Each structure stands twice: as structure tokens, then as C-alpha cells.
A = this chain, B = another copy of it.
Amino acid sequence: MDIDKYMNELGAAARSASRAVAASSTDVRNRALLAVRDALDSARDEVTEANAADLDRGREKGLDAPLLDRLELTPARIDAMLEGLIQVAALPDPVGSIADLRRMPSGIQVGRMRVPLGVIGIIYESRPNVTVEAASLCLKSGNSAILRGGSESLQSNTAIAACLQAGLRSVGLPPASVQVVATADRAAVGRLITMPEFVDVIIPRGGKGLIERISKDARVPVIKHLDGVCHVYIDDEADVDMAIGIAVNAKTQRYGTCNTMETLLVASSIADTILPPLAKAYAEAGVELRGCARARQTLPDIKSASQEDWGEEYLAPVLAVKVVSGIDEAMTHIETYGSQHTDAIVTRDHARAMRFLREVDSSSVIVNASTRFADGFEYGLGAEIGISTDKLHARGPVGLEGLTSEKFVVLGEGQLRT
């Protein structure tokens, strides 16, 4: 297979289809999503069979249990995919609204119209349910999509692609509105991220290594999600019970998520009050603590944190603990070791809360709540294609709006520039 030729064909078809999708009505796109749902529902057997073949091959190749788990399409996961399509169809259409239309001194009216980005390339791991999720969000936001899932899920994705095509066709949208890359050859990714003539933005979903590699080689803008080294800072003026609740929830509600707290910062004046009950709660949850020298004065039994612990994204029941002199040292620590993802302060002091909000340069900055809230659904975005740790365009949880941009529109009555 000539990969460059194949990807160029995919790209040209996606570019051409993107104009039809962008021009389609809200109703047509919603009906397409529901038609995909019905096609998927009718093809449960085919999809499950294809998935079983992927799982067999995965076992032969010796994939580990978590990978096989993510690859598997259980009946419950298929139900969730169907339900997701209905939910996305029900979301408001982000496309076409005109914001801030104002009359200027020249007499022209100027506003900003929300429009699709064009063609979105999504690169992800072997989780076939992501194929449906990504397709639905791109389609809803008026974009065409090229989807490239992990090679272990190729047969599952091919079966799902047939349902996507059927749904698109049934409402008269070009089948190339959503295309699944039908090759396991890694060269396809290399081409996908270097054809700005066909692709407007790349969204990689996966480990930090994958995303860094893609960002480095891409010739197209990339909406990145790197690591989440999230902090909770418990201020001198914190409500003790609230602080304990938040610090426990931010660490233990789930360990493997990017918005889980990885380092706890505690103001020194409150350390002796708050660390002993916290240590007890963490011990009960099975969380290992690694503390700075000052923290170990209060908690002599915990391990000593090394320099590496401060920048570590454990994604595990491990927590670094540092005692700081106050908000300034806390913010300096976050600036030095954080990943600008999500950071929280617990305090009753209004001025410090506002300083933290303004000065901490992270995609989500939180006062008196758990870092675990940094999520598109919790933020009311209705859906989430990912979380961006970039500063330009979308920052933080990315919903449908992040898959669009704004252009200027001008309404005149014959005005000339003088």
C-alpha cells in the first residue's frame, strides 16, 4: 500500500466533505448522529465479532490486561456509545451564532460568527469507543474528521466505520465527512500530521510520549494534553474540615486521571493541625506519602520526598507533601514544578483566593473545591474531546466550542472606506 497516496486521497476527500458538513443544517447533522446510532445498534453482532478478532490477535501478541480491557467492546460499552450519540445530538449546535454584532462609526455592523475548524485529525489508542465519540463531536461541530485509532483496534474500527458511513449516507452527507484510517502502518500518522493543505488541526489522545512526538513532528496545529501535575494548597486560613475533605477527594476519588492531585502543599502554621488527620485518612485509603523535611517533623513515619517527586505525575496512590511558608511559596512551587493543568487553593481569605485565581497560570484554577472537577461535563460543556494544556485557542477541558473558531462578519449597506 502506498501510504502517502492513500493518506492524500483521504485528506482530499475530507477537505472536500468539510465544506458540505459546514454548510449542512443543524437538523441534518443531528439526524446523521441518530442514524449512526441506529446503524450501530443493528450491527452489534458484526462489531462484536470484529472486536473479538482484535482481542484474539491482541492476546496472541501478548497485550497486557489493561490494554485488552480498553480494547474490549462489551455490551455495556456499546450501549454507552449509542447513548453518547443521542446525547451529542441533543446538545446545542455551536455553529453559526453571531456574537457581539455592533454598529461601528463607519456604519458597518461587525460581529464574530462561530464556524467549524474544517478538517480535524484525531490520533488515539486502541479504544474503539473513542472512534464513535470523536466522530460524533467533530460532526456535531460541523467538521469533517480523519480518525486514526491504535493498530490493535483496526477491525473494530473498520466495523464501526461502516456504521458511520451508513449513517452519513442516509441523510445525504458525504461519507468522507468521517473517515477511519484503514491501515495499521505507522507512516499513516506521519503523513496525517504533515498535510496542512488537508488537515486544520490534530488532536492526539494518549500518553505524554505519543503527544510530545506528534507535537514535535506536526506541521499542523496540535491541541495537546500533556501531563497533569496538579496541586492543592491548604492556606493558613483554610477551614480545616473543608481542607481535609478536598485533599482526600482530590487524591483518592480516582488515581489514574489527569486532574488528580499529585502534590499537596500545606501552610506551615496549619501543618501540625492538618497533617496528622490527613495522614490517617490517606493511610486508610492506602495512599503512600512522600514528604519534605518539614512535613516529616510532623509525620516522622512517612517517606522522604526526593527532588524528582515534586514534578511527578504518579497516577497512583502516592502523594508528595510539602510544607510551605504561605501563598507566595506555594505559587512559586506550582510555577516551578506544576504542569499548568489544574491547581486549587483552600482558604477562607478572599484576597488570597483572588490572588491565587489571577496569578496561578494553569488551565483550571480552583478555590475551595476538588481538582477532580476539572472536566468538560462538570464544567457544563456537555461533552469533552480532551483537556488542553496549551495556552492558545482552547485551554482546559475542550468541548464542542473548542472544535470551532470565530470569523469576523461585516454587514454593510454600501459603505466605502475613506
Residues of A within 8 A of B (CB): 19, 22-23, 96, 102, 104, 106, 108, 110, 113, 115, 117-118, 200-201, 216, 219, 221, 239, 241-242, 245-246, 249, 253, 335, 344, 355, 357-359, 361-370, 372-374, 378-380, 390-393, 395-397, 405-418
CB contacts (< 8 Å) of A405 on chain B: these are 391-393, 395
Asked if A392 and B221 sit within 8 Å, CB to CB, the answer is yes
Q: Identify which of B96, B361, B393 contacts A115 (C-beta below 8 A).
A: B361
Closest to A380 in B: B104
A381 to chain B, nearest CB (A): 9
Residue of B with least CB distance to A103: B380
**Measured CA separation A379–B408 after assembly (Å):** 9
User: Which chain B residue has the least Cβ–Cβ distance from A108?
Assistant: B369
| Contact across chains for A364 and B117 when beta carbons are under 8 A apart | no
A373 touching B19 by the CB < 8 A rule?
no
Q: A245–B417 Cα gap in the complex (Å)?
A: 10
Report whether B110 and A246 are in contact in the complex, using a CB–CB cutoff of 8 Å. no
The binding surface of chain A is classed by DSSP as: mixed
Name the B residues within 8 Å of A355 (CB-CB): 23
Question: Provided the pairs A246-B414, A370-B415 are in contact, do residues A408 and B113 lie with their beta carbons within 8 angstroms?
Answer: no
A72 and B367 CA atoms in complex are apart in Å by 52
* Complex-state Cα separation, A108 to B418, whole angstroms: 51
Q: A393-B392, A416-B245, A417-B249 are in contact. Are A365 and B104 (CB under 8 A)?
A: no
The 5 closest A-B pairs by CB, nearest first: A369-B412, A372-B417, A242-B414, A249-B416, A392-B393
C-alpha spacing A249/B361, complex, angstroms = 46
Q: Answer whether A410 and B108 are a contact pair too, CB < 8 Å, given A96-B358, A370-B415.
A: no
Chain B's closest residue to A220 (CB) is B392
User: How far does the alpha carbon of A87 sit from the alpha carbon of B108 in the complex, in Å?
Assistant: 23
- In the complex, which of the residues B96, B110, B418 contacts A380, with contact meaning CB atoms closer than 8 Å? B110
Which of B22, B378, B392, B412 meets A392, CB within 8 Å?
Answer: B392
CB distance from A177 to the nearest CB of B (A): 16
Bound Cα distance A338, B333 (Å):
49
Q: Are B108 and A378 in contact (CB under 8 A)?
A: yes
